[in-house]
Amino acid sequence: MLFLQGTRDTFAQLPLLEPVIARLKPRATLHLIDGGDHSFKVPKSSGRTPEDVMNDLADTIAGWTSDV
């Protein structure tokens, strides 16, 4: 299972999600988007564009699926 998570996501808070991921390992992978909210939007101050974030997510998904 691949979990894509923004560090500012208020719907799936990391302190609640991380123990679940730990119990599921090695079947679970967590990829964090630093500063990302539930929609993976990051603050302008991050220096990352929405396209940067989507490319990061796409690369992560492609890499993960090639390992499955």
Q: Which two tokens stand for residue 63?
A: 């890499």
Q: Enumerate the domain spans of the chain.
A: 2-67
Q: Which pLDDT belongs to residue 18?
A: 94
- DSSP 8-state assignment for residue 68: -
CA 11 vs. chain centroid, Å, equals 13
* Residue given tokens 């929609």 in the structure block: 39
Nearest-5° Cα angle at 37, 45 to 23 = 125
pLDDT by residue (tens digit) across 8-29? 999 999 999 999 999 998 999 9
- Region 22-37: what's the mean pLDDT? 96
Q: Which residue reads 């730990």 in tokens?
A: 22
**pLDDT above 90 (res 36):** yes
CA–CA separation, 6 vs 55, rounded Å?
A: 14
